Structure 1
């Protein structure tokens, strides 16, 4: 009976350990944007803690302010006949995430910044991301974290740009735990096989005791 109780406890522990648990996600981040001519000159400043830390269950996500973006230019380069100049040419921007937990690794979200104007009346900066990026982790690489960043318009003004950080925008990050990594211990089929062997051995011991062969 004691052995049966131990096996029952082992089985319960196995199923509990296979249940949902929170994963700690911690990452640093750095922004690289076009800060000099040619092109719209971009300034950025951190908004979130660096590194940031969140605890998520599989399927959960969290959205938070990541960094501020703005320009100190007060107008876009343009000509009456040539249209918008170099300030309206797309320039690369990227945010590199250096994951510390659940394990070390990197993922980078890329996009572009550029100026835009509407019939010389309204001018603004535009930030557009190429799309979310994922970070995989775990012994089998099946843990999956997704990072998506918000598109933003910034420093919108009439007959020019409304320059400075106060007229800029805040980029938000959406952090999602798409899938938790499978356990690094014994694979599940082997656990089930081990449990089956233990049950068979217990049955044999109980039978021998019943037949009087074991005191």
Structure 2
């Protein structure tokens, strides 16, 4: 195998090694919403696997449907203000820990002459989950706002006219102890540089 092919192989193995070092992020989730009493009563159902799991490298993100939300009420506008809703995440990988995204649900009149009604779910700040010995590893989870059961005179109540709240999972930073490449990665990188340098030397010698 000549030096150029050897260098290309080393670079390929280096890339494969980096891809193999993707971090698995696994978490369960629980939705706590206003499911009874006065005001706008809502129902939720898991949309994603629970727990969910994705392999991500630093800088990558994944957006997916997390849970469905709807109301069975014929009158979405109850005049009693908003109600809290929250999603608690329980991480098991890359480490154990918990965090919560908070928000509100409420009903609105909308449309021409306010004939239409809609339910709204609105979220506050995203969850920033830190981990690692120095708490500098960072995973962020944000949830999408949604409108559900939009219709005239409450005719579109029920799960068929509900909405899906999406989660965006971002892997923003490795913990500091994970920033140092493994010895095998150093070896592959050195092999790639040596092979490319040797190939350049042979080309100069042949001139």
Common topology (TM > 0.5): yes
> 2:61 — aligned with what?
61
What is the distance in 2 between the residues matched to 1:161 and 1:106?
39
Secondary structure of 1:29 counterpart:
strand
> 1:162 — aligned with what?
156
* Structure 1, unpaired ranges of 5+: 1-14, 78-83, 189-215
Q: Which protein, 1 or 2, shows the higher relative CO under an 8 Å CA cutoff with sep ≥ 6? A: 2
Structure-to-structure mapping, 1:22-171, within 5 angstroms: 22-77=22-77, 85-86=79-80, 89-118=81-110, 119-171=113-165
Q: Is the 8 A contact 1:122 1:160 kept in 2?
A: yes
Does the C-alpha gap of structure 1 residues 76 and 48 become closer, same or farther in structure 2, counting only changes over 3 Å? closer
Q: From the CA coordinates, give the structure whose radius of gyration is larger.
A: 1
TM-score, length-scaled by structure 2: 0.74
Q: How many residues align?
A: 164
> 2:187 — aligned with what?
none
Distance apart, 1:161 and its partner CA = 4.8
What is the distance in 2 between the residues matched to 1:91 and 1:159?
22
**C-alpha RMSD of matched pairs (Å):** 2.2
What is the distance in 2 between the residues matched to 1:67 and 1:160?
22
Q: Is the 8 A contact 1:138 1:181 kept in 2?
A: yes
* Structure 2, unpaired ranges of 5+: 1-13, 181-207
Secondary structure of 2:176 counterpart:
coil
TM-score, length-scaled by structure 1: 0.71
